[in-house]
Structure 1
Amino acid sequence: TISDNYHQPVMGGTGANSIMIGTADAIYYTDGNGNATKPPADQIENPLPQANTNNWYTQDGYSGGSYTNCSDSHQPGAGTLRHYLDRLPYKPDAKCAPNTYYLLNNYNPGYNGDGTVNTSTFTTPPSPVRTIADTLIEKNISWKYYGEGWNTFVKTPTTSVYCNICNPFLYETAIMTNPKLVSAHLQDTTDLYADIANGTLPAVSFVKPGGLLDGHPESSKFGLFESFVHKLVDKVQRDPSLWASTAILVTTDEGGGYYDSGYIQPLDFFGDGPRIPMIVVSPYSRGGRVVHQYADHASIVKFIERNWRLKPITKRSRDNLPNPIQLQTHPYVPVNAPAIGDLFDAFEFPRTP
């Protein structure tokens, strides 16, 4: 089953979109102790175009400027977006806390793989924002994040294919300051294959290939990513008992651009963004079908929460939004906006595998 209405959650890069898979929310600049504070001036986003350029931002991304205090309409670019959101008929909450500078693009996470604080440049400080991992731990539901190259990343990060900005849990203080949690839950894809073979997969698994296989055009090809997914699906399907209770959700971090011919639903200040792939592989999925329910990365969080009867991560995270009500005559636009789905429309429960 595929979705043709699944979106990247942030109008930004790999890091900000990957974080949403864990938090269903944006993270912000802190003093390292969980308190919101103002970042250095050269790290504050300024989307106003430089003179004599084709809309080249004054400050953006790695070269300077990835945070915004979107609660202040006088901040560059913030006022225009806030005005747009305020004029929408359904008045979405911008989710901009006062005097808080939110991450919009790609910055390194606040921790290294060994749990030490990351002090390199272009790094967001340790984050206090809760993730779905906290909820799973509290409810004793097993989970792991398998990232290719993790073992090398922990020892010699510069030689690893590991994508640190892709792991939402590397940003979080509650996880990374607890060595037992790191050891138990952050592992390599070699551990993934061993867990599949041994029948010891956790209830919830996040899987990320390394930079050579993840399909990013700078370092990979999409066919290599497809082969990685094919290998993973084959391994799971070889074990009938494992396959009978498995749902594999295949997506990408973001689409590499901001244009979309379809509808993009404004949910808050940070997104949504354009559509990206979502493929559901499971004995319970509606094979050969295309589903239209509006969804983004926070829908993965909602899927986990609905399946295990969990509450939203926080009071402000996107998993609080209702499932969309969409008309058959216009199936792509929720009439109860802002709303995002939980991906259950891609399945048929109960059903004998």
Structure 2
Amino acid sequence: MPGRILTEHFRFMARGSGRLLGLGILASTVLTALPAGPVQAAAAGPLDQIETVVVIFAENRSFDNLYNGFPGADTFAGRPLSDFAQRDRDGSIMRELPPVWGGLTGRGVRNAVTQAMSAHLPNQPFRVDDPKGFNVPLSTLTHDLWHRFYENQMQINGGRNDMFVAWADSGAMPMSYWDGSRMRMWDVARKYTMADHFFMGAFGGSFLNHQWLACACAPFYPQADTSPAHPVISVVDPSGKALVVASNSPHSALDGVPKFVRDGNLTPDFHAVNTMQPAYQPSGNPAAAGQDARFADPGSPTTLPPQTEPTIGDRLSERSITWAWYSGAWQDVLDHGNHYPAPDFQYHHQPYNYYLNYAPDTAARQAHLRDGGLAGARFIDAIDHGTLPQVAFYKPQGNLNEHSGYADIQSGDQHIADLIDHLEKSPQWPHMLVIVTYDENGGLWDHVAPPKGDRWGPGSRIPAIIVSPYARRGYVDHTVQDTTSILKFLTERFHLRPLDGLTVRDRAIQAATGHPLGDLTTALDLHSTGK
């Protein structure tokens, strides 16, 4: 039924401007069709002390990339770097790392590190900001890396984490790391709780991991093989976990970037796992000629039909819990279009814009998809005035999100630390929980193997910091958790019906580790606020 509704609506969108009444009816139908279930008053418990939950979702950093050496955490500091040698595509240990193809730093960067300068690195992790090495500051734009669904699984290599270079497009870059102790968020983490066994919810990149935060699901493109999307269906091997390597691919990572028969955005059974664009603006795909300007061209191979799976937002709304997704620069981009290098708005970082329930002209869109303002100004205003909803998600604009290639670490670190300063002074702070984490690893190596889960993840380890009057002070939480743990916490705190993907992931982690998936509560002391 959801697939049929989705397909018919997508065809409806393409027929021109006479769709708007039908759009409202369809959105209303989907909203009311979601089974509400009995809404029962739950007995008060310790978690009820937390009245406001804030999730800050930064970009593309593995734990080891920023937090190697963090006190008390599971890092590779002090271990022989040769322990982490990478294997080539044939499984042999490489004699050295390949150069960073195209150079470690972008064009126009002062004292740029070129491809030639990065040649002949030892086969081990290397520190980007080492004063005796490349000496690149945290304020520098560095090379971006592949961070895709199948490549991430191939890099993890069954938990050995030894093929990050073999299946990368950036040579040695996955093995880079920084001295994060100079970051402001390092100090925040030391003050509160650092979760050092927190993994990205899904393998791969930002698109799927934002969807995972919204629905714990992989979006679906019905009948993709007979649709405009058929050219972006991946060709994978019988395991379903790896791409088929092309016959003309370089045999060694030392010789160049790997090539695949087809590294697409959809799985062979039509789930969207790499970046697709939303059907509603703002979208990376403009409207088709004659189409309502608020929509994206459904004839583009990368426009994903509107999704109908239930989200955590839907579950919160079922229980009349107030919530919002605050997106930095949202309204500015709608009004003026995107601008580079700032705000460098990222369309695929807005998960609810992919859903029929939040289509243009719906009340749900107006209520829940909110403008965070340029540099988060409107979000900060809500913090300062104590007007945040009970659950607030915040996505920084592109130049402030720490993504390799188009954002530097320092700017994003300062932005998030400034947000923490405001949150600590907010009228809502005494009963607040803040989770600061990253959507995914950005293709960057980490030495800790993710636990075995389900088909979709979890993927590589990422930082997660729990900030709250209730957070354990100066604590490192070793509980196995992932992005789904945020949804699990919200489900438990607000007595929600669990999303199907949350239930599947929880069971998979239980089977793999002998323990249920963590729910963030091990970072909390609900009997002493520490005030």
For 2:388, which of 181, 198, 201 is the aligned residue? 201
Out of 268, 277, 294, which is 1:108 matched to?
277
Tell me if structure 1 keeps the 8 A contact 2:452–2:508.
no
Cα gap change, 1:343 to 1:102, in 2 (>3 Å):
same
1:249 maps onto 2:435 in alignment: yes
Q: Using the aligned pairs only, state the percent identity.
A: 28
Match of 1:52 in 2: 248
Which whole-Å CA distance do the structure 2 matches of 1:287 and 1:123 have between them? 45
Q: Residues 319 and 143 of structure 1: is their aligned pair in 2 closer, same or farther, counting only changes over 3 Å?
A: farther
Deviates more, 1:36-45 or 1:280-289: 36-45
Instruction: Judge conservation of contact 1:112–1:118 (CA < 8 Å) in 2.
Output: yes
Aligned partner of 1:279 among 453, 465, 475: 465
Instruction: Choose the corresponding residue for 1:158, options 316, 338, 342.
Output: 338
Q: Deviations over 1:201-220 (max 9, x none)?
A: 10001011111110011111
Q: How far did residue 246 of structure 1 move?
A: 1.1
Q: Distance in 1 between matches of 2:437 and 2:226?
A: 34
Instruction: Determine the C-alpha separation between the residues in 2 that align with 1:29 and 1:128.
Output: 11
Aligned with residue 24 of structure 1, among 216, 231, 240: 216
Deviation at 1:284, TM superposition (A): 0.6
Between 118-127 and 342-351, report the one with greater CA deviation. Answer: 118-127
The residue correspondences of 1:81-96 to structure 2 (distance < 5 A) are: none
Compare CA radii of gyration and give the structure with the larger one.
2
In structure 2, the residue corresponding to 1:144 is in which secondary structure?
Answer: strand
Question: CA–CA distance in 1 between the matches of 2:212 and 2:355?
Answer: 13
Question: Structure 1: any 5+ residue segments left out of the alignment?
Answer: 70-99, 327-332
| Separation of aligned partners in 1, 2:366 and 2:418 | 25
Partners in 1 of 2:390 and 2:508 — Cα distance?
24
Quote the offset at 1:249 in angstroms: 0.5
Which residue is 1:92 aligned to? none
Deviations 1:255-308 (A, max 9, x none): 112744222123222211110110111111112111111111111111111111
2:401 to 211, 214, 217: 214
For the residue of structure 1 that corresponds to 2:276, the secondary structure is coil
Q: 2:351 aligns with which of 154, 168, 172?
A: 168
Structure 2 vs 1, CA of residues 232 and 191 (structure 1 numbering), >3 Å: closer, same or farther? same
Please state how far the C-alpha of 1:320 moved relative to its aligned partner.
6.4
Q: Deviations over 1:212-232 (max 9, x none)?
A: 110011111111111111111
Q: Is the 8 A contact 1:2 1:291 kept in 2?
A: yes
* Unaligned residue ranges in structure 2 (runs of 5+): 1-192, 236-242, 251-257, 284-292
C-alpha separation in 1, matches of 2:358 and 2:527? 35
Mark the CA change 1:237 to 1:108 in structure 2 (over 3 Å): closer, same or farther: same
Equivalent in the alignment of 2:325: 145
Following superposition, the deviation at residue 50 of structure 1 comes to 1.4
- 2:266 corresponds to which letter in structure 1? Y
Greater Cα offset, 185-194 or 137-146: 185-194
Give the conservation status (yes or no) of the 8 Å contact 2:327–2:397: yes
In the alignment, residue 27 of structure 1 is paired with which amino acid? P
Whether 1:230 and 2:388 are equivalent positions in the alignment is no
- Any residues of structure 2 matched to 1:122-137 within 5 Å, and which? 122-137=302-317
Q: Secondary structure at the match of 2:325?
A: strand
Which residue among 310, 319, 335 is the counterpart of 2:514? Answer: 335
Rounded to whole Å, the distance in 1 between the matches of 2:472 and 2:423 is 18
Aligned pair 1:345/2:531, yes or no? no
Which residue number in structure 2 is paired with residue 77 of structure 1?
none
Say if 1:305 and 1:311, in contact at 8 Å, map to a contact too: yes
TM-score, normalised via structure 2 length? 0.54
**CA shift for structure 1 position 191:** 2.4
TM-score, normalised by the number of residues in structure 1: 0.79
Classify 1:52/1:323 alpha carbon distance in 2 versus 1 (closer, same or farther; 3 Å).
closer
2: distance between equivalents of 1:279 and 1:316?
24
Task: Encode CA deviations 1:131-181: one digit per residue, 9 max, x unaligned.
Answer: 111011111111111111101222344335322211211111112255322
Checking the alignment, whether the CA contact within 8 Å between 2:267 and 2:273 is kept in structure 1 is yes
Is the CA contact 2:197–2:478 (under 8 Å) kept in the aligned structure 1? yes
Cα RMSD over matched residues?
Answer: 2.4
- Pick closer, same or farther for the CA change 1:344–1:323 going to 2, 3 Å: farther
Aligned residues: 305
